[in-house]
Amino acid sequence: MSSLQLVNPRVRGIRRSPHSGLQSLGAQKPFKEVIDVSSGDPHKAGVKPISFVRQVLAVCLHPQLMKNKTLPLDVRLRAQRLLEVCDGGSVGSYTASSGMPHVKQSIAEFIMRRDAGVPSHAEDIFISAGSQRLLASGEGETQTGVLTPRPCPHTLPPLLDEAGVTLVPYQLMEDRGWAVDLDELHRALKTTRGRCEPRAIYISNPGNPTGHVQDRKSIEEVIRFAAAERLLLLVDEVYQDSVYGQEKEFISYKRVLFEMDKEYSETVQLVSFHSISSACMGECGLRAGYMEQVNMDPEVTQFVDTMLCTDISTPVTGQLALDLMVNPPKPGDPSYDTYTQEILLTLATLSQNAQRVQEFLKDLPGMSCQPAMGGIYLYPCLHLPSEIIEKAKVRNVTRTFMFMAQRGIRVHVSGKTQDFHPGKHELVSREYYLKGPLF
């Protein structure tokens, strides 16, 4: 790890020789390749891009390809339509800061289809170069506090820190497959008294890094809790496209909220995030995501809009990829079969890898690992014998390191199925984000 990464865990993608990891392990290993999964990047781990997305983007970038009859007709027509909504008919133009109106409309229609007709409006949707943005205020007792799961996505604590937010951890329940627990939410909230002003609760569903998928009942509980405590719900649903657990399905927080009584559906404020970095698209490098605001005070929406006006627009290629993600080929379109096969292959790969890795990890001495139901991670725990913990205390081994050793292992499950050979490939990536009190 470079010193830059040690200083700031948000620094990603430092170029390394493929063998440097092995060298740093300092011993001969029965494998030749290290797969660097630290950034959670599906394509880097071997997932192939969706052909339809790349073909349409290729035509948009090089419109002469429109005449190329080897490309499916729906690809060329879609590219034509997308270029028509780009200023000057070119992906090289700026767009509105909050995103291209055409793409925002596609997103709203996608959300309505996904949520069984619950209305969605383009003006409540904001596109940015990535799904995570946050604003906060106050200092000391009045500083914004955000209830945050433990474990949580490794990019979150630095993001909160940068925004000047106090992180208020709530523990996910490992023995219940990393479920969200209501009593634990109340306990966490109590700890904020005199420390900060809790204003929001962050939820990752399907969970990063736990692979947990919440059911309707659990979502309703969280919504009631947020309503009672007047918390804004920040719902990260970026892995909604990759649920593979048996009898598990993704239900959006927005849908559940709108199917509850009016006292909730018309009052609880919610922001939902999605991104082209999602597991099946995996287009992290194209940089685009969106947030949808629900029940937000119009002044807040206006403020966000004004604030975004100071930003340079999101890369157009990313916005177009977002459009393709939310509006894929339909049955009967020439690209439909290939598109469907590619998505199903990615899902099958994720599911098989998750199962194989979980079976491997849970059988290791001193390890436990809950099965994943969605997303791209597993979260095994290493149980250190009490003598080791005692010795570490005596030797004053830093609590961060110990905590990391105990819990901080995150396993990425994307990549080609055949890529996974326990013992041949190094699969675990050490994380350094779970700083927390061990002793």
Q: Which residues bind ligand PLP (CB under 6 A)?
A: 40, 130-132, 153, 204, 208, 236, 238, 275, 277, 284, 289
Neighbouring CB atoms inside 10 A of 302's CB total: 11
Return the number of the residue (41 or 342) whose C-beta is nearest ligand PLP. 41
The C-alpha atoms of residue 150 and residue 39 are separated, in whole angstroms, by: 19
**Minimum distance of ligand PLP from residue 57's CB (angstroms):** 17
Using CA atoms, how far apart are residues 367 and 350, in angstroms rounded to an integer?
21
Smaller CB distance to ligand PLP: residue 54 or 362?
Answer: 54
CB of 334 to ligand PLP, least distance (A): 30
3-state DSSP call for residue 247?
Answer: coil
Q: Least distance (Å) from ligand PLP to the CB of residue 277?
A: 3
Task: Please spell the DSSP secondary structure of 379-436, one letter per residue.
Answer: --EE---HHHHHHHHHTT--HHHHHHHHH-EEEE--S-GGG--BTTBB-EEE------
Which residue type does 354 have? A
Q: Which helix (H) or strand (E) holds 323?
A: helix 316-326
Q: Are the beta carbons of 326 and 107 closer than 8 angstroms?
A: yes
The smaller minimum CB distance to ligand PLP, of residues 128 and 335, is found at 128
Q: Please, which residue, 148 or 275, has the CB nearer to ligand PLP?
A: 275
Cβ proximity to ligand PLP, 244 vs 264, nearer residue: 244
Tally Cβ neighbours within 10 Å of residue 298.
Answer: 8
Q: Which residue is nearest to ligand PLP (CB)?
A: 130
User: CB 127 → ligand PLP: shortest distance, Å?
Assistant: 11
The nearest distance, CB 336 to ligand PLP, in angstroms, is 26
Residue 232's SS3 state is strand
Pairing of strands 232-236, 197-204: parallel
Cis peptide bond upstream of 151, omega within 30: yes
Q: Which is nearer to ligand PLP, 294 or 376 (CB)?
A: 376
C-beta of 277 vs 293, nearer to ligand PLP: 277
In DSSP terms, which residues pair with 409 in a beta bridge?
430
Q: Considering the complex, state which of residue 329 and residue 408 has its C-beta at the smaller distance from ligand PLP.
A: 408
Closest distance to ligand PLP from the beta carbon of 335 (Å): 25
Q: What is the DSSP letter of 291?
A: E
Distance in Å, CB of 333 to ligand PLP, minimum: 27
- Which residues lie below 8 Å from residue 416, measured CB to CB, with a gap of 6+? 46, 47, 349
User: Per this entry, what is the length of the chain?
Assistant: 439
Q: Crossing angle for the helix pair 216-228 and 182-190, nearest 10 degrees? A: 30
How far apart are CB 211 and ligand PLP at their closest, in Å? 11
Token couple for 144:
């914004």
